[in-house]
Amino acid sequence: MMSGRGLGHTGGTLDKLESIPGFRTTLSLDELRAAVGKIGCALIGQTDDIAPADRKLYALRDVTATVESIPLISASIMSKKIAEGIGGLILDVKTGAGAFMKTVEDSRRLAQSLVAIGNASAMRTEAIITRMDAPLGRAVGNANEVIESIETLKGRGPQELEELSVLLAVRMLVLGGVARDEADADTRVRAALRSGAGVEKFREIIGNQGGDPGVVDHYDRLPQAPDHYPIKAGRSGYVAALQAGRIGRAAVALGAGRAALGDVVDHGVGIEVLARVGSEVRATDDVLMVHHRGGRGLDHALPILLDAIQIGDCAPAVGPLVVDKVGQGD
């Protein structure tokens, strides 16, 4: 799988993986082929040999106000996928306050663009549009999201994160012809979670790409921010909203992302969601926990986070995680 770095308020898969000590995402073509031949997969970014132009354009989009351009998003994502030489692709296209595409209509336009490019390139392609108004799961950052991913592979992750991960994996197995239908694929995916096969494969990937596989069992080997600051509800009621876009921008202010081209990412900082949307809280309850390093960016992040939390008198209606599907006989 080829991924990118963080853009705007969103986190990048490569930034998260590189929080694992020693993990290499810049494999050469020979190393990539060797990894796929040896263990069946690899997690990489663009290199001088694979989609080299996109690596430069990707970085420039963050500082030229073109992050949300559908043609540039489509070209960036699909150039990497086509360069991989894969035969099938499942895409998770986000929609809502925390996504590049704020409306379902724009998200559907992006999904249709991606699917059309993939199918025109003889690559079976489908997209699932999922809601991103609030953070998915409980972790926002880099190392803390790696921990949450490992916990999910161990069957202990947040329910909505496991639900989406299983759904995407199910469609991968069906599209790849590994499973005969979704029921068969669902059985296989959940069996891999229960047996520990999923987390062991991730451990194998980490070791094969130079990382410390011990992080799977010892989270203290990952970067950790030493300081913590709680954000309280401020009034009793129900968590009506947690604006994912604002929380993402606050994480960037702490150093978890890049405000400018060339910024160094602090893999240990981030934000932990303690009360999900719909939770009943008292005024003194902690809703978010900020993981910071010596107060860096805290003055900037705190007002953004306070603005991200909405407390109401009644429990809000929470919509379904999956909003639409594109390319599955639609």
Percent of all residues in the chain with a pLDDT value above 90, rounded to a whole number: 72
Helix (H, G, I), strand (E, B) or coil at 105: helix
Q: Indicate whether 28 pLDDT > 80.
A: yes
Query: What are the structural domain ranges in the chain?
Result: 224-312
CA–CA separation, 171 vs 182, rounded Å?
7
CA–CA separation, 111 vs 105, rounded Å?
10
Per DSSP, the residues of 244-258 read: HHHHHHHHHHHTSS-
State the pLDDT at residue 298. Answer: 97
CA–CA separation, 65 vs 83, rounded Å?
26
CA–CA separation, 6 vs 10, rounded Å?
6
pTM of the model: 0.90
Closest to 41 (Cα-Cα) out of 50, 32, 54: 32
**Terminal CA-CA length for the chain:** 26
Tell me which of 318 and 18 has the higher pLDDT.
18
Mean pLDDT (whole number) for 190-210: 96
Q: Answer for the pair 140, 251: CB distance below 8 angstroms, yes or no.
A: yes
CA–CA separation, 256 vs 328, rounded Å?
36
**pLDDT tens readout for residues 40-76:** 999 988 777 777 777 677 666 666 666 678 888 888 8
DSSP β-ladder status, 280-281 and 139-141:
unpaired
Q: Using 50, 70 and 90 to split pLDDT, how confident is the model at 10?
A: low
Least confident of 40-49, 165-174, 189-198, 265-274: 40-49
Strands (E), the chain: 88-95, 124-131, 139-141, 227-232, 237-242, 270-273, 280-281, 286-292, 309-312, 322-326
Helix (H, G, I), strand (E, B) or coil at 303: helix
CATH number of 224-312: 3.90.1170.30
State the pLDDT at residue 58. Answer: 66
Q: Using 50, 70 and 90 to split pLDDT, how confident is the model at 12?
A: confident
Please, which residues bridge with residue 232 across strands?
A: 286
Q: How far is CA 15 from its chain centroid?
A: 10
Mean pLDDT (whole number) for 90-118: 93
**pLDDT tens readout for residues 244-258:** 999 999 999 999 987
For all residues of the chain together, what is the average pLDDT? Answer: 91
**pLDDT tens readout for residues 282-324:** 999 999 999 999 999 999 999 999 999 999 999 999 889 999 9
Least confident of 54-58, 107-111, 162-166, 193-197: 54-58
State the pLDDT at residue 66. Answer: 63
Number of alpha carbons in the 13 Å side-chain half-sphere of residue 213: 12
Q: How far is CA 74 from its chain centroid?
A: 17
Which amino acid does the sequence have at 117?
I
Q: Indicate whether 108 pLDDT > 70.
A: yes
Structure tokens at 300: 């900037």
Q: Using 50, 70 and 90 to split pLDDT, how confident is the model at 213?
A: very high
Q: Indicate whether 329 pLDDT > 60.
A: no
Q: Indicate whether 6 pLDDT > 70.
A: no
Classify the C-alpha dihedral 163-45-328-174 as positive or negative.
negative
Mean pLDDT (whole number) for 2-18: 76
CA–CA separation, 206 vs 168, rounded Å?
22
Map tokens 């494999």 to a residue.
27
DSSP state of 146: H
Q: Answer for the pair 67, 61: CB distance below 8 angstroms, yes or no.
A: yes
State the pLDDT at residue 261. Answer: 61
State the pLDDT at residue 264. Answer: 86
Closest to 50 (Cα-Cα) out of 61, 58, 60: 58
State the pLDDT at residue 25. Answer: 92
State the pLDDT at residue 328. Answer: 66
Which amino acid does the sequence have at 300?
H
Rg of the chain's alpha carbons, rounded to an integer?
20
Q: Using 50, 70 and 90 to split pLDDT, how confident is the model at 103?
A: very high
DSSP state of 224: -
State the pLDDT at residue 50. Answer: 76
C-alpha distances in Å from residue 94, one per residue of 33, 110, 133, 143: 31, 10, 9, 22
CA–CA separation, 39 vs 203, rounded Å?
11
